[in-house]
Amino acid sequence: MTDFPGVFTHPAGELSNGAVLDIGLKCPHSCAFCYYSFLDGGTDQFAGLRKASLRSTADCLEIVRLLAENGLTHLDITGGEPTTHPGLADIVRAASGLGLGVRVITLGQFLLRKHAGGTLLEALLGAGLTDLLFSLHAANPDSFRAICGGSLENVLAALDRLDERGFQYGSNTVITEKNLLQLPDIARLAAGRGVYTANFIAFNAYHAWRGQDQAKLLQTSYAAIRPRLEEAVGILAAANAAVNIRYVPLCAFPKLARHVVGVLGVPYDPYEWRNRCLNHDREPAYCAEPLPIPASGVRDIFAFTPLDETLQGGTRVCGMRGDRFKFFPAQCADCPAKSACDGVDPTYLARYGADEFQPLDRPTQGPLLAARLAYLPPHLVKMRPEADMRGAIGHGANGRDAALAARD
């Protein structure tokens, strides 16, 4: 712990002790970019989510117990939409009782609904909830509704309640063509509220999106994102919030490289998950087991394989990660950061080509940039509801951060 009660400093470069409880994919929302779109193999984007099931409360409690037994220290509860699970408050209470930090990931639509004589939010806070991670995909109500079918007013009303209590929380923003221009406004909204950690997630055509024409309408170019994201990160950093950028090549935003966490870096990100998710049909012991990470830090499914071929679309590549999961354009061959880089998404290469990618002359340590390891704000973990995360970031992390940045 730090001088700030309830703030744990995760040793940079060590494996995460974070976990996930996946309560099932049932979801009433309609996020345009949802990775579980077309879940049932049909053409109705959200039909599968509506029909999906929720795990039983008994199963969820057993997974929580096993996560603690396996030495994991904090967990995210995700779905689907976890606030629709009838046992959520009991699950939070059980996790908190075992000493686990417990965070709920939500679109924030149902937190002020009536629940057991109060609101669901009050019930969760009373059960010991440590943290919330809100989906903040737009900065104005019309865009929010257009992107995910939800009400920004509902989210803001819940944030009001949390801000009154001094309860700090995080935000997730999936970057698509639909909210690209709003990134600085989203950052201003988060900075003006109690957000202490903000995740910007570039849309990738994973899962059922691969090969879908609709993916092309969502995926925006890194060149277009870059100036808006640089502005957004500046706004959040000034508010003492940590910022993470997910699943892009390390040179996509050269000035923001320390904020980037790809699939290679995920096991070392303290808020990321070491156990298996998306196994609703498997027994609790399987779901709660931490995945082994080899000494190299790179799981076999993401191993680098040299290649010499030209992809459909004309990009010449010198290597790939996994089984054609990501590719390395020819100019990556001598890149000093290659061992820490995911490479480039094939759908992205087919649409935008590879001209913007340039070798990044930054030192690496295992599958991470040294600059990421020296960036302390994302290594501070909220373990208690009242923890002053922004205070901790402003007190220690930004000062050291600035000194290290000056040396870069």
Asked if 183 contacts 228 with a C-beta cutoff of 8 angstroms, the reply is: yes
**In the complex, minimum distance from the CB of residue 321 to ligand SF4, in angstroms, rounded to a whole number:** 10
Q: Would you count residue 36 as binding ligand SF4 (CB under 6 A)?
A: yes
**Closest C-alpha among 115, 113, 171 to residue 144:** 171
Question: On the CB side of 230, how many CA atoms lie within 13 Å of its CA?
Answer: 11
**In the complex, minimum distance from the CB of residue 114 to ligand SF4, in angstroms, rounded to a whole number:** 21
Choices 270-278, 292-300, 336-344, 368-376 (CB under 6 A): range interacting with ligand SF4: 336-344
Q: Write the binding mask 315 to 334 for ligand SF4: x where contact by CB under 6 A, - elsewhere.
A: -------------x--xx--
Total residues binding ligand SF4 (CB under 6 A): 27
Q: Write the binding mask 124 to 163 for ligand SF4: x where contact by CB under 6 A, - elsewhere.
A: ------------------------x---------------
Q: Write the binding mask 268 to 287 for ligand SF4: x where contact by CB under 6 A, - elsewhere.
A: --------------------
Closest to ligand SF4 by CB, 22 vs 185, is: 22
Closest to ligand SF4 by CB, 7 vs 266, is: 266
Q: Would you count residue 107 as binding ligand SF4 (CB under 6 A)?
A: yes
Distance CA 176, CA 217 (A): 8
**In the complex, minimum distance from the CB of residue 291 to ligand SF4, in angstroms, rounded to a whole number:** 22
Instruction: Quote the Cα angle for 184-186-187, to 5°.
Output: 60
Q: How far is CA 153 from CA 51, 199, 309, in A?
A: 27, 21, 50
**In the complex, minimum distance from the CB of residue 249 to ligand SF4, in angstroms, rounded to a whole number:** 4
Asked if 133 contacts 171 with a C-beta cutoff of 8 angstroms, the reply is: yes
Closest to ligand SF4 by CB, 362 vs 390, is: 362
Distance CA 255, CA 235 (A): 15
Amino acid at 390: R
Q: Write the binding mask 362 to 401 for ligand SF4: x where contact by CB under 6 A, - elsewhere.
A: ----------------------------------------
Choices 113-121, 192-200, 249-257, 301-309 (CB under 6 A): range interacting with ligand SF4: 249-257
Distance CA 189, CA 398 (A): 21
Distance CA 70, CA 93 (A): 19
Choices 73-81, 165-173, 192-200, 221-229 (CB under 6 A): range interacting with ligand SF4: 73-81
**Closest C-alpha among 353, 310, 359, 348 to residue 326:** 348
What Rg value do the Cα atoms of the chain yield, rounded? 20
Candidates 341, 380, 389, 397: give the one binding ligand SF4 (CB under 6 A). Answer: 341
Candidates 4, 38, 203, 357: give the one binding ligand SF4 (CB under 6 A). Answer: 357
Q: Would you count residue 250 as binding ligand SF4 (CB under 6 A)?
A: yes
Say whether 364 sits in a helix, a strand or coil.
Answer: strand
**In the complex, minimum distance from the CB of residue 262 to ligand SF4, in angstroms, rounded to a whole number:** 9
Candidates 229, 337, 381, 397: give the one binding ligand SF4 (CB under 6 A). Answer: 337
Say whether 190 sits in a helix, a strand or coil.
Answer: helix
Q: Would you count residue 80 as binding ligand SF4 (CB under 6 A)?
A: yes
Distance CA 15, CA 116 (A): 39
Residue 98: DSSP 8-state: T
Cα dihedral 187, 190, 192, 194 in deg (nearest 10): -150
Choices 187-195, 352-360, 371-379, 387-395 (CB under 6 A): range interacting with ligand SF4: 352-360
Say whether 120 sits in a helix, a strand or coil.
Answer: helix
Asked if 182 contacts 207 with a C-beta cutoff of 8 angstroms, the reply is: no
Asked if 265 contacts 367 with a C-beta cutoff of 8 angstroms, the reply is: yes
Closest to ligand SF4 by CB, 80 vs 194, is: 80
What is the number of other CB atoms lying within 10 angstroms of the CB of residue 105?
21
Q: Would you count residue 34 as binding ligand SF4 (CB under 6 A)?
A: yes
**Contacts to ligand SF4 by CB under 6 A:** 27, 29-31, 34, 36, 49, 79-81, 107, 148, 249-251, 328, 331-332, 335, 337-338, 341, 344, 357-360
